[in-house]
A = this chain, B = another copy of it.
């Protein structure tokens, strides 16, 4: 029945102040207020309805996304929303669209790489959406290796223009979101050719379509690259293909903040430090980590609520069956993901601080922390997106058969999230970058260069190489210091061990290639340590609200000890732990599941997600799952008629043994 809360009993069990936890999750009372207000605004507006999304054919789906994007912009203008509110609104509309790239890549690229003059010219147009831009970097043949891009931009001194060209098939731009059907402009990355000399990849502002009738300009071939994973998912986005046939643009449309081309065709570096691009990278990846906690928490919220609704087996004397959330196997899969969602939230929060710190230092020309900040954001991007993608799919499986229905919301969530493992740096490539940084750090130990930031623990290498866990009872694992030392010792030992194996190779690059799988494992150990240590730092803060800190402590234990169990081989293999101590950690982990169980529903309520945002019948706030699943089924297009289209042509002749005369 509508209006009844089927999960009320679960909510009564909570041992902490849910409203206070909402503030913790949101980051501040202000954040919570804005999020709550804007999410309700979106949820209550039928213009943002999304429950029919997985049933629409591509063209209708896309057209509807165009409508929503325009409507969102209209509402933003009408309501005079602040930048913060506008970005929240787009977030809660929750439909990938060309506007993501316009606001998230096109504008920031002009801000970061354009001169003051270029910014003055282009930004006002972009802010008012009088032009719509995308970010055309990736090509058919090159993604990870940006330096291998093939599109060329040749300076023509006679006309003071660049000639943008696609010399090969593989040089076709491929993937940029918003490019396929919408963008009027693009930042195009191309090799700068001056007088026959290749100056490497640079960015250029190129108009693609007429502002009058939207047709592609001469020399430009542009289109959509076709269907992607999932029903709705990223198919609301016009990821595009783009080819240039000697397209001319004025010289002043090269983004010239860092280096410029003069009227005479000379290449000049400006005095703006090149390291600035790292600042942008830190920013983008910090956003990705924040997104990871958001996507993972959505999936966990759905799976947790449904696990409390679903009952299976274990009926005694005709009573109700057991809620599946009460099974330890379910807890053992679900609760570590719940804990990970919180862990990623806190490490994301810390990354926001890191980004500000890096920006401040860059402005003061202090580049000393950049390598560490770069390695740390690369690693955390890789770690959190991989765990989130796998975690969403695990949550789907935790919902049993019904998780396979689109109305569960989980297939859509997986399909729309999973490219995060590939874009902005393939996750394995990023881990190898982290590994390089680790090896370099190890090689510099003892040279007097003190490791800083997230790698500071390497400064205590002698202790970390020799110490042994002092855990003697399961409860010893409730101490954060106990856990932290274990993760530090493991990470340090794995880095040192692989560095030691590397030193046996005469050619270091050959060694790096040969041992790359081990290097990746060392990098993962380091990244997990960062998350663990930032969670501990969070726990040291003053956290108001009855019982809130206790819950976070339990989640910290679950996050770290489930990792310790999963990677037991590392901890035992580096001889920091004995098998007995590892078993004690596992015993403690189990006891934490019991502790979190009564609070599970309240812990996902604290995310404060509306039913509109979750878009999942299984994850409904009120737990009224079965009647709503039943209702939703009848909305499928196949149910428009009782007898299906095709019955007369293809089923009846078969049943009537008249196939031989049928046209098939």
Q: Which residues of A contact B (CB under 8 A)?
A: 47, 54-59, 62-63, 66-67, 69-71, 73-74, 77-78, 128-132, 138, 140-145, 148, 169-170, 172, 175, 180-182, 184, 211, 213-216, 223-231, 234, 238, 241, 311-313, 315, 321, 327-329, 332-333, 393, 397, 400-401, 403-407, 411, 415, 418-419, 421-423, 426-428, 432, 513-518, 520, 565, 567-575, 579, 582-583, 586, 590, 626-627, 629-630, 632-640, 642-647, 649-655, 657, 659-660, 662, 664
Contact = CB atoms under 8 A, between A and B. Distances in A.
Contacts of A182: 644, 651
Given A214-B651, A226-B406, A401-B422, 20 more contacts: A70-B651, A70-B654, A74-B660, A74-B662, A128-B657, A129-B654, A132-B654, A140-B629, A143-B400, A145-B312, A175-B401, A181-B644, A184-B655, A214-B647, A214-B652, A231-B231, A329-B516, A332-B517, A572-B572, A573-B582
Contacts of A143: 312, 400-401
Contacts of A397: 421-422, 427
11 contacts: A62-B638, A67-B650, A74-B662, A77-B660, A129-B655, A131-B655, A144-B313, A169-B630, A180-B638, A223-B636, A226-B406
A70 B664 contact: yes
A60 B7 CA distance: 40
Given A329-B517, A644-B182, A660-B74, A225 B636 contact: yes
B144 A226 contact: no
Given A329-B428, A572-B573, A629-B140, A646 B67 contact: yes
Contacts of A403: 422
B626 A214 contact: no
A145 B590 contact: no
A514 B590 contact: yes
Task: Give the secondary structure class of A's interface.
Answer: helix
A114 B415 CA distance: 43
A645 B63 contact: yes
Contacts of A426: 400
Given A313-B145, A428-B329, A47 B579 contact: no
A500 to B, nearest CB: 11
Contacts of A128: 657
A316 to B, nearest CB: 11
Contacts of A311: 141
A305 B184 CA distance: 37
Contacts of A131: 655
A224 B636 contact: yes
